[in-house]
Amino acid sequence: MSPRTPVPRPKPSGAALPDEIFAGFAGAPMQARNAPGPLTEERARAVLATVPDPEIPSVMLPDLGVIRGVEVTGDAVTVRMSPTYTGCPATDLMQMMIREQLTATGFASVTVDLVLSPPWSSDDITAEGRRKMAAAGIAPPAHRATDKRHLTGTLPDVACPHCGSADTVMTSAFGATACKALWRCNACQEPFDYFKCI
């Protein structure tokens, strides 16, 4: 297909998304809040599974792999969380949202500890997280962070999240947030975000 051939623009990826991705903002937490029941680790984890990454709202915190541990003692809960990037401005917001949701669930004391070690890696994103990212129009990391290509700076083969074409090119090593780079698809000519391997 020559570059001049008109290509039907893909539907904005947001429109095709199931309602469930916005669960973190409104629906599910309300249910979790109102449902009576014992304050268990399972319950705390269920609540965490509804807290979205503020910068990629379709991906929940456990999908992102940043939740490192949950401990419940009586009505107190401690969540251990690892930031994606040292300066990620979403870290404070994530902590706040976790506190807010777990407090609303009935926990009297909520502590969110930041842990640096072992450092978070894009390898920690779950299969579910990768699926939700792709559905939101963000290409998930193309290879593992330990891949040699990462060390040598060779660009990965990234499939377009809109049309699936492998004919893609990086336009900027940095993107709208610390965790993403900007890419473009030569087949459908749409720009897209690529979640960096780190």
The answer to whether 76 contacts other proteins (rule: CB under 8 A) is no
174 binds, among other proteins, Zn ion, none (CB under 5 to 8 A by kind): other proteins
Q: Name the segment binding other proteins (CB under 8 A); options: 85-93, 103-111, 125-133, 135-143.
A: 85-93
Mask: binding to Zn ion, 98-117, rule CB under 5 A, as x and -? --------------------
Report how far residue 14's alpha carbon sits from residue 18's, in angstroms, rounded to the nearest whole number: 9
Rounded-to-integer distance, Cα 64 and Cα 36, Å: 28
Annotate each residue in 178-197 with x if it binds other proteins (CB under 8 A) or - if it does not, as one string: x---x-------------x-
Q: Under rule CB under 8 A, which residues in 3-32 are in contact with other proteins? A: none
The span from the CA of 88 to the CA of 84, in Å, is 7
Paired strand residues for 52:
60
Greatest alpha-carbon span in the chain:
65
Determine, following the binding rule CB under 8 A, whether residue 172 of this chain makes contact with other proteins: yes
- Rounded to 10 degrees, the C-alpha dihedral 159/178/22/130 comes to 30
Query: How many residues sit in the footprint of Zn ion (CB under 5 A)?
Result: 7
Retrieve residue 112's tokens: 């969110």
User: Based on CB atoms, which residue is closest to other proteins, 7 or 145?
Assistant: 145
